[in-house]
Amino acid sequence: MGIETATPAAARTVPGNGRSLTAPLLEAAGIEKSYRRGIWPVRREHQVLRGASLALYPGEVAGLVGENGAGKSTLMKILVGALAPDAGSIIRNGRLGYCPQEPVVYERLTCDEHFELFGHAYEMTPAAERRSARDLYAALGFERYAATRASQLSGGTLAKLKLALALLADPTVLLLDEPYSGFDFDTYLKFWDLVAQRRQAGRSVLIISHFVTDEKRFDRIVTLRDGKAVPR
């Protein structure tokens, strides 16, 4: 398993949008991952990923789909560095933003305090953090909850906070695991506006989605099947 810094590569065209692009912003090759199930002495190994490969390029929005248990969340955790693969290599070029399915917030902190904490972790200046937080509050429509503790937020507002934290530092690559679960329709549309802005700015977005109606919004879709990433 290796994690490397990207090097220049030949230009290529993203299927579905015809744009000529340069080196991938994130590239994974031959990713393997197994889990042990059961208890001794009948414990056995279950292989989830069997050589999965995926590359994300500037200015594209990719969808990652597959059956429950196919390994979508596992692959995304490996891409972001939250989980180590058993084998394979990962090349990251630029900052990553990650919005997992499970909450990654502190119940006693307010939304403002979360932005301050994550801004510090991202090594943002206080002014840049406040400016980005203000823009995200406005874009997702939850300014009035700035001083509200996470424990008091509704599921929909908590989902907005999770997404905003992933976007705070303007990441080069945005990895989203079913990000709009809990969104109302208005917020759902605002979410896709933000995604379109990132595409326009030359960023890359990978989204795990179960919504068939979203397919037209992606530049391409990758299906996880039998432990491998298969272009649709």
Amino acid sitting at position 109: L
Confidence band (pLDDT; 50, 70, 90) for 14? very low
Does residue 9 sit in the same domain as residue 66? yes
113 vs 67: which has the higher pLDDT: 113
Residues in contact with 27: Cβ distance below 8 Å, sequence separation at least 6, in sequence order: 6, 54, 55, 56, 90, 91
Q: Report DSSP letters for 90-138, one per residue.
A: EEE-S-EEEE-SS----TTSBHHHHHHHHHHHTT--HHHHHHHHHHHHH
In the chain, % helix, strand, coil (3-state, to 5) comes to 35, 30, 35
Percent of the chain beyond pLDDT 90?
76
Both 66 and 150 in a single domain? Answer: no
Indicate whether 43 and 142 sit together in one domain: no
Q: Which of 150, 169, 188 is the last residue of a domain?
A: 169
With the CA atoms of 161, 164, 169 and 175 taken in that order, what torsion angle do they form, in degrees rounded to the nearest 10?
110
Residues recorded for the chain: 232
pLDDT recorded at residue 20: 46
Query: pLDDT tens digits, residue range 134-192?
Result: 999 999 999 999 999 999 999 999 999 999 999 999 999 999 999 988 899 999 999 99
Is residue 48 located within the same domain as residue 89? yes
Q: What's the pLDDT score for residue 57?
A: 96
The CA distances from residue 2 to 78, 84, 168, in Å, are: 11, 10, 27
Q: Containing domain of residue 122, as a range? A: 103-169
Please classify residue 4 by burial: count the beta carbons closer than 10 Å to its beta carbon, then call 0-12 exposed, 13-18 middle and 19+ buried: exposed
Together in a domain, 87 and 192: yes
In this structure, the answer to whether residues 225 and 135 fall within a common structural domain is: no
Please state the domain count of the chain: 2
Do 79 and 48 sit in the same domain of this protein? yes
Q: Are 219 and 61 in contact (CB under 8 A)?
A: yes
pLDDT of residue 132: 98
CATH number at 181 reads 3.40.50.300
